[in-house]
Amino acid sequence: MTNQSASTTNRVLATIMNHRSIRKFKNEKLVPFQIETIVRAAQMASSSSFMQAYSIIGLTDPALKHELREITKTPYIEENGHLFIFCADLQRLTVMGTNQEKQDMQIMLESSAFYQIAVIDAALAAQNAVLAAESLGLGAVIMGAVNKDIKRLDDMLGLPQYVIPLFGIAVGVPDQQPEVKPRLPLEAVYFENRYSSETEQLERVQAYDNDMNHYYQTRSENNRNDGWSRKHIDILKMKIPLGAMTEYMRSKGFNIT
Amino acid sequence: MTNQSASTTNRVLATIMNHRSIRKFKNEKLVPFQIETIVRAAQMASSSSFMQAYSIIGLTDPALKHELREITKTPYIEENGHLFIFCADLQRLTVMGTNQEKQDMQIMLESSAFYQIAVIDAALAAQNAVLAAESLGLGAVIMGAVNKDIKRLDDMLGLPQYVIPLFGIAVGVPDQQPEVKPRLPLEAVYFENRYSSETEQLERVQAYDNDMNHYYQTRSENNRNDGWSRKHIDILKMKIPLGAMTEYMRSKGFNIT
């Protein structure tokens, strides 16, 4: 049986609850043992029908890392202990098929259902990678920013059909110790049997906006007067065109509008 | 600094490496402390721009669980300690907006880029949930099958616009101890700087097919003469129509082909 006091003593929960994204690393490369441990941990996540529909690319070439930093204006894309790019990968499933079979597989492979499966597989693996890194005393941050020029990244990595980059994970020895960010109240995220009413959601999100405003104003670095909803609404109403990413995904065989 | 022998002593890595999906549970419900711990662990995962774009619904109503079991023909959807449904949720980001803002947000919210973000957020959270459960001595399985009749599930859960179910996680006290399944060789999943050549991938997948054939023939239950590639190719070439799911996603405001 399980133990009611587990949450305080259990090392897995302690690692999970202690997570904060690290964006500043000491100048120290990961050793092969650490990289291998992180990848093997990623591989142990569940995957849909055991398809393991993802690939991980370690970017170690300094010129490539520098270029990606320039594209993204993100220093920790270059300055880290190791940079992993996680990709959705439906290509590997096809390699043993005959040409006829490869053709016959297209309809299902190129469906949005299989695209979704591959994205989920990659993200499940990624969270194991982050926790494995943290358990080794390292820090990590997951970054969508690596996709700022997704076609260029695709070229760099030489990705075949049915393989697209989703996000990067920078790992390294932490050179900062940010506070743990308060999450949404549990009641705004978890419901029993039915999604909550709009009125209830509104109250919970409002309460959280106040919490986050307090957090942003009082944290040790980068203080600002900001809420949670306001920040996202202000970004989302900017109508930033995201069509390039969609066009790229379609060019790789994923049927996304 | 990190420790070279961590992989044998570190409890986080031990939990990750020991993962196997559990599909048979003892007749014992999770207690509120366990449910809360699992949800709070899920919430600690990273999320894109801290959007926390997911919701989790616990299905406890016996009639609903029974109906979902009937739809999916999956006994452990009903027979478990607790059933969580993980949803992509872009709705919560909008609730504090004015009507005009809600309109202005549509273009970005309904893009495939934001859909992908929400799916990734939900899956990162889900992997934390699985590990938290395992750290408490429980077992878990992630199941896409809950979506077999996705419109019916949507009705059951009362999901608003911009919220779609992705998968379920059944959790409970394990009543089976399956073997850990061998994963793809690390070399077939992890590359440095460039995706591997087709010839190399072919060799690695072939080697894995032999490994998996041995595993399927010699494991303690449910033996069969099967490889890894063959199983997936045979499913994927069946051209099973998946349009209902796509149509559903579009009806919820996600711009998916």
Going along chain B from its start, the domains and CATH numbers come out as 9-180 (3.40.109.10)
Of B41, B43, B228, the CB nearest to A13: B41
pLDDT at A37: 98
Name the residue among A90, A129, A257 with its Cα closest to residue B12: A129
Instruction: Return the bridge partners of B57, or none.
Output: A191, B85
Closest chain B C-alpha to A14 CA, distance in angstroms: 9
pLDDT at B223: 86
pLDDT band at A20 (very low <50, low <70, confident <90, very high): very high
Contact present, A86 and A165 (Cβ < 8 Å): yes
Q: Which residue has the tokens 């949930």?
A: B129
Whether pLDDT at A6 is above 80: no
pLDDT at B245: 85
Closest chain B C-alpha to A209 CA, distance in angstroms: 10
Amino acid at B166: L
Out of B70-79, B164-173, B218-227, least confident range = B218-227
> Using only C-alpha atoms, what is the Rg of chain B?
20
Whether pLDDT at B7 is above 70: no
**What is the predicted ipTM?**
0.96
Whether pLDDT at A5 is above 50: no
pLDDT band at A9 (very low <50, low <70, confident <90, very high): low
Q: What is the mean pLDDT of residues B145-171?
A: 96
Inter-chain contacts counted by CB atoms under 8 A, chains A and B: 372
Is B6–A97 a contact, with Cβ atoms under 8 angstroms apart?
Answer: no
Contact present, A39 and B188 (Cβ < 8 Å): no
pLDDT band at A257 (very low <50, low <70, confident <90, very high): low
pLDDT at B90: 96
Contact present, A69 and A145 (Cβ < 8 Å): no
pLDDT at A142: 98
List Cβ neighbours of A197 (8 Å cut-off, separation of 6 or more): none
Q: Is the dihedral of CA B66, B71, B76, B80 positive or negative?
A: negative
C-alpha distance from residue B162 to each of A90, A172, B41, B144, B149 (Å): 26, 36, 24, 19, 18
Closest chain B C-alpha to A196 CA, distance in angstroms: 8
Out of A1-5, A47-51, B165-169, least confident range = A1-5
Which residue from B minimizes the CA distance to A102? B237
Q: What is the mean pLDDT of residues B218-233?
A: 88
pLDDT band at B200 (very low <50, low <70, confident <90, very high): very high
pLDDT digits (tens, 9 = 90+) for A194-232: 999 999 999 999 999 999 999 999 888 888 888 899 999
Of A190, A202, A240, the CB nearest to B58: A190
Is B228–A50 a contact, with Cβ atoms under 8 angstroms apart?
Answer: yes
**Helix (H) and strand (E) counts in chain B:** 12, 5
Q: Residue B54 is encoded by which pair of tokens? A: 């997911």
Interhelix angle B150-157/B62-72, nearest 10 degrees:
170
Long-range contacts of A154-160 (CB under 8 A, 24+ apart): A154/A248, A154/A252, A156/A64, A156/A67, A156/A68, A157/A57, A157/A85, A157/A87, A157/B193, A157/B194, A157/B195, A158/B194, A158/B195, A159/A87, A159/A252, A159/B195, A160/A91, A160/B195, A160/B198
pLDDT digits (tens, 9 = 90+) for A78-128: 999 999 999 999 999 999 999 999 999 999 999 889 999 999 999 999 999
Which residue from A minimizes the CA distance to B156? A194
Is A184–B34 a contact, with Cβ atoms under 8 angstroms apart?
Answer: no
Whether pLDDT at B1 is above 80: no
pLDDT digits (tens, 9 = 90+) for B52-102: 999 999 999 999 999 999 999 999 999 999 999 999 999 999 999 999 999
List Cβ neighbours of A240 (8 Å cut-off, separation of 6 or more): B108
pLDDT band at B257 (very low <50, low <70, confident <90, very high): low
Closest chain A C-alpha to B71 CA, distance in angstroms: 17
B205 contact residues in A (CB cutoff 8 A):
92, 95-96
pLDDT at B9: 64
Share of chain A above pLDDT 90, in %: 84
SS3 state of residue A165: strand
User: Mutate which of B23, B119, B232 to disrupt the A interface (most A C-beta within 10 Å)?
Assistant: B232
Q: What is the mean pLDDT of residues A184-199?
A: 97
Out of A14-18, B44-48, B55-59, B253-257, least confident range = B253-257
pLDDT at B75: 97
A169 contact residues in B (CB cutoff 8 A):
none
d(CA B95, CA B97): 6
Of B19, B128, B160, the CB nearest to A44: B19
Contact present, A145 and B95 (Cβ < 8 Å): no
Contact present, A53 and B187 (Cβ < 8 Å): no
Q: What is the mean pLDDT of residues A9-23?
A: 95
